[in-house]
Chains A and B, each alone.
Chain A
Amino acid sequence: MNTKPAPLAESTIEFRDVTYSIGGISDDSPHALVSNISQVISSGETLVLLGRSGSGKTTLLRLINRLLLPTGGQVVVQGLATSDWDAIRLRRGIGYVIQDAGLFPHFTVAENVALVPTLEKWDADRIAARVQELLTLVGLDPQDFAARRPHELSGGQRQRVGVARALAADPPVLLMDEPFGALDPVTRAELQREFSALARRLGKTIVFVTHDLREALLLATRIVLLQAGRIIASAAPQEFLRINHPEVQAFAASLGALPGAPA
């Protein structure tokens, strides 16, 4: 920790033959949620982990910020294995957005956004300025929203606050677990478009979990497809649909299944 790696390498994440299993200590057949994952996520990339429910995409995400520790192999973040990181320090440098936003109901919008800066003991003026800046960035008027509580917001607004909170301490890495999954289709499309533009501007390393191919194609610089805890495809969005694999075809078919879409 005394020698800092070069800035460019800092926000890379590397999975080195990672397996995560549950059980197995008392019962003899541990069940692997993800197996033998090797993958390098480069700085500035928006990597979308695509897969059906139970394919292991959320598990991979939770391995990055040490909510889970691998049972085999290593996850290396900014040059250091997550098992060697101090969990608190690691997490404060990684933004995290989940489907239900997980905003603190007893905090105002401003207090929610200010969470990590407050934990990091920024001074009050700097926090206030940052909250203003972030709310504006995610399209919420600070005048109108800063003093509200989460229950006074719509689902879309809550998710915007969730994104602002994740970005608060300007972490190089952003983890997003189906952040737009619970929204109505119109709001979802709106947030996807805005977030896509925001992601390009911010230049963060983003790992984004979804089961929606349309969303993956819109946001990703690279799509990684998971099936039963294994990576079965990895490609740029424009090449992804051309991959000849039954699971890729199954996802492609889900696009065509939308009413009104060209056959």
Chain B
Amino acid sequence: MTPWTFFLEHRSEILEATLAHLLLVITAMAIAIAIGLPLGLLIVHRPALRNISLGIASVFQTIPSLALFGFLIPIPFIGGIGRRTAIVALVLYALLPILRNTYVGLTGIDPAVLESAEAMGMTEAQIVWRVRFPLALPVILAGIRTATILTIGIATIAAAIGAGGLGTFIFRGVAMVSDAVILAGAIPAALLAILADILLSWIERRLSVA
């Protein structure tokens, strides 16, 4: 059986898995952004919280993904078998690039710009929303792009705990020792990652100035 014939015979199943995969990634990214962005804003002026949150987010990055999925299964409410556990794990992985880039973007601004903003009589909130945030946006988006690509890859492993998605084909292919079945999961996953990269790079370029 060639990969192509397998692909043709199972195209509706593959499409369904791709959509499930995409939904997993989008859900996880939406939650990670909803946590990472505000937290990144918050830690600009709070060094203690900054060290703790960046530290915790870094620790999760060091845990091998298969192990993290395993660790989460016995935890009540967020654990168990299925999509919910997978989303929790994906959020934990996506958090660091978003949080770190938000913080770096907001703080890596020309000091002369911040000094004149302050000296012109802008309030702290005006400086954040009209100066820091628009200037940090390209860096923040780069973090979101990194996190998205990372999440698309890691989400394939989520199939191991019954979350579905393209990983289902990969695990099945490994068990069947069939390259064709593995590729049916791996190729769409790679394509998703490439498309996400292209789309998010384009948005990044559109929004960056100077």
List residues of chain A with CB under 8 Å of any chain B CB: 65, 67, 87-92, 94, 96, 98-106, 115-116, 119, 149-151, 162, 165, 175
Of the candidates A91, A101, A106, the one whose C-beta lies within 8 Å of that of B210 is A106
A-B pairs with CB below 8 Å: how many? 66
Closest to B210 in A: A105
B24 contacts the other chain (CB 8 A): no
B126 contacts the other chain (CB 8 A): yes
Q: What residues of chain A lie closer than 8 Å to B131, measured between beta carbons?
A: 104
Q: Is the contact region of chain B dominated by helix, strand, or loop, or is it mixed? A: helix
Known: A101-B112, A102-B110, A106-B209. Is A119-B118 also a contact (CB below 8 A)?
A: no
The answer to whether A115 touches B120 (Cβ under 8 A) is: yes
Q: What residues of chain B lie closer than 8 Å to A119, measured between beta carbons?
A: 120-122, 126
Q: What residues of chain A lie closer than 8 Å to B2, measured between beta carbons?
A: none
The answer to whether A65 touches B119 (Cβ under 8 A) is: yes
Most B CB within 10 A of own CB, among A67, A99, A105, A150? A105
The answer to whether A106 touches B135 (Cβ under 8 A) is: yes
Known: A96-B116, A98-B112. Is A88-B121 also a contact (CB below 8 A)?
A: yes
B160 contacts the other chain (CB 8 A): no
When A and B form their complex, which 5 residue pairs have the shortest distance between CB atoms, in order from nearest?
A: A102-B116, A91-B121, A92-B121, A105-B210, A102-B112
The answer to whether B119 touches A67 (Cβ under 8 A) is: yes
B23 contacts the other chain (CB 8 A): no
Distance in angstroms between the alpha carbons of A151 and B122 in the assembled complex:
23
B198 contacts the other chain (CB 8 A): no
Q: What residues of chain B lie closer than 8 Å to A99, measured between beta carbons?
A: 112
Most A CB within 10 A of own CB, among B117, B118, B120? B120
The answer to whether A96 touches B120 (Cβ under 8 A) is: yes
Distance in angstroms between the alpha carbons of A100 and B112 in the assembled complex:
6
Task: Return B187 CB to nearest CB of chain A, in Å.
Answer: 40
B35 contacts the other chain (CB 8 A): no
Distance in angstroms between the alpha carbons of A104 and B118 in the assembled complex:
12
Closest to A115 in B: B120
Of the candidates B110, B117, B210, the one whose C-beta lies within 8 Å of that of A149 is B210
Distance in angstroms between the alpha carbons of A89 and B110 in the assembled complex:
24
B134 contacts the other chain (CB 8 A): yes
Task: Return A35 CB to nearest CB of chain B, in Å.
Answer: 24
Distance in angstroms between the alpha carbons of A91 and B121 in the assembled complex:
5
Distance in angstroms between the alpha carbons of A165 and B116 in the assembled complex:
10
Known: A98-B112, A98-B116, A119-B126. Is A106-B121 also a contact (CB below 8 A)?
A: no
Q: What residues of chain B lie closer than 8 Å to A104, measured between beta carbons?
A: 113, 117, 131, 135
Q: What residues of chain B lie closer than 8 Å to A90, measured between beta carbons?
A: 121
Q: What residues of chain B lie closer than 8 Å to A65, measured between beta carbons?
A: 119
Most B CB within 10 A of own CB, among A67, A119, A150, A151? A119
Q: What residues of chain A lie closer than 8 Å to B134, measured between beta carbons?
A: 106
Known: A102-B113, A106-B210, A149-B209. Is A96-B126 also a contact (CB below 8 A)?
A: no
The answer to whether B123 touches A88 (Cβ under 8 A) is: yes
B9 contacts the other chain (CB 8 A): no
Closest to B116 in A: A102
Distance in angstroms between the alpha carbons of A153 and B39 in the assembled complex:
36
Task: Return B15 CB to nearest CB of chain A, in Å.
Answer: 41
Given contact pairs A106-B210, A116-B120, A149-B209, enumerate 11 new A-B contacts (beta carbons under 8 Å): A87-B121, A96-B120, A98-B112, A98-B115, A99-B112, A100-B110, A105-B110, A115-B120, A149-B210, A162-B116, A175-B119
The answer to whether A105 touches B116 (Cβ under 8 A) is: no
Closest to B119 in A: A96
Distance in angstroms between the alpha carbons of A119 and B122 in the assembled complex:
8
| Contact string against A for B residues 68-110, beta-carbon threshold 8 Å, 1 for contact and 0 otherwise | 0000000000000000000000000000000000000000001
Distance in angstroms between the alpha carbons of A223 and B133 in the assembled complex:
41
Distance in angstroms between the alpha carbons of A164 and B154 in the assembled complex:
53
The answer to whether B121 touches A116 (Cβ under 8 A) is: yes
Closest to B122 in A: A119
Task: Return B204 CB to nearest CB of chain A, in Å.
Answer: 14
Known: A67-B119, A88-B123, A115-B120. Is A105-B209 also a contact (CB below 8 A)?
A: yes
Task: Return B195 CB to nearest CB of chain A, in Å.
Answer: 29
Distance in angstroms between the alpha carbons of A106 and B131 in the assembled complex:
8
Q: What residues of chain B lie closer than 8 Å to A92, measured between beta carbons?
A: 120-121
Q: What residues of chain B lie closer than 8 Å to A106, measured between beta carbons?
A: 134-135, 209-210
The answer to whether B119 touches A91 (Cβ under 8 A) is: yes
